[in-house]
Amino acid sequence: MTTAAADATADATTAEVDANTDANATTDAAAIEHARALLGVSRLTNAALTRWLHGLPGVDQVGCEARAGALGTRSIKSASKAWAIDLAISMIDLTTLEGNDTPGKVRGLAAKALTPDPSDPTTPRPAAVCVYGDMVAIARNTLGDSGVRVAAVATAFPSGRASLAVKLADVADAVNAGADEIDMVIDRGAFLAGDYRTVFDQVVAVKRACGTARLKVIMETGELVTYDNVRRASWLCMLAGADFIKTSTGKISPAATLPVTLVMLEAVRDWRETTGTQIGVKPAGGIRTSKDAVKFLVAVNEVAGPDWLEPHWFRFGASSLLNDLLLQRQRLRIGAYSGADYIADDSPSTAY
């Protein structure tokens, strides 16, 4: 390559970097301007975020848990059960996030998403298959243009302990491989230390890196200790541009509890009333039976409202839930459970 050609290539590369930097700065500036307007401040400082978040109404722990308990005891009729089971299936992010995941395991999971019940073609498909970033291409190739989306965990999942540059590279790899959705984790250490601006900036940066992919922000509610913190984290993530707020990684206990999800449902309801923007909710971890799923759907309807009762706005992060829903669906359809080799997994939960 001649010196002139090398100089031209370098100039083009520099121009591209500068253009990307300008675009990123514009995106971040727009997010900050939106936050400043909502908070009514001239500068988006950590102090301003702290005043705003700590000015949110506190959560009545006793009242929250009592309401969740009451919602969890609601009974529904058989026709409604059939509808609820199909809806729950369509809301699942069918998940495998293990260190021993193999290409064959991911292909098998994706194949199951495409044909959940080979004996009944009317069975709805799950919303997405959720995998680690290095498995995205395999899931994408198996799912094709079926409409089942590919979700990828990113940003140093599950701990979130990495530099922002590493987190953004993680997101870029997943998006470039074909991910439709990104499930990021917040820096819980920064949040619990009161460094809300760092959490805000990281969510904004990841949202920008997602491009057209939807962003689910995992708060790891089991580490946030209080319902007040769950409410503050929910509002902070929505302020920064989350498309979904998500309870957990599924790697710690407690994971998705009904009271925590109730607090998050109240947050997205109030956010829409405040801003006009609807945000999704994804409880993940520990939801294993049809009974569990129906309890969450009742809470969605009663707390956030029926607008959230569809897969674009509510998801279940689960691995074993689908099998139980399929078994319960078959029982309602033909009056009996299948044989032992109908699906591979646990035995069905008690009929409800």
pLDDT tens-digit map of 107-143: 999 999 999 999 999 999 999 999 999 999 999 999 9
More confident residue, 254 or 343: 254
Predicted confidence (pLDDT) at residue 7 exceeds the cutoff of 70? no
pLDDT at 79: 77
pLDDT band at 26 (very low <50, low <70, confident <90, very high): low
DSSP state of 314: B
pLDDT at 22 over 50: no
The span from the CA of 296 to the CA of 290, in Å, is: 10
User: Residues 84-99: what's their mean pLDDT?
Assistant: 97
Predicted confidence (pLDDT) at residue 317 exceeds the cutoff of 60: yes
Query: Cα torsion for 152, 157, 163, 167, to the nearest 10°?
Result: 0
CB atoms within 10 A of CB 169: 16
State the pTM of this model: 0.89
CA–CA dist 196, 245 (Å, integer): 16
Is the pLDDT reported for residue 346 higher than 50? no
In sequence order, what DSSP letters do the residues of 289-309 get, joined into one string?
Answer: SHHHHHHHHHHIIIII-GGG-
Q: How far apart (Å, rounded) are the C-alpha atoms in residues 220 and 159? A: 9
pLDDT value of residue 183: 98
For residues 315-342, give the mean pLDDT.
84
Question: pLDDT tens digits for 223-273?
Answer: 999 999 999 999 999 999 999 999 999 999 999 999 999 999 999 999 999
**Sorting pLDDT into bands at 50, 70 and 90, what band is 334?**
confident
Three-state DSSP class for residue 258 = helix
Phi, then psi, of 258 in degrees rounded to 5: -65, -45
Catalytic residue numbers, as ranges? 183, 246, 282
Strands 92-95 and 128-132: parallel
CA distances from 297 to 212, 258, 288, 292, 343 (A): 28, 10, 14, 9, 24
- Model pLDDT, residue 340: 42
Amino acid symbol at 151 = A
* CA nearest neighbour of 208 among 15, 23, 16: 23
Residue 8 scores a pLDDT above 70: no
List the strands of the sheet with 128-132, edge to edge: 280-282, 244-246, 214-218, 181-185, 149-153, 128-132, 92-95, 316-318
- Identify the weakest region by mean pLDDT among 55-69, 257-271, 329-343: 329-343
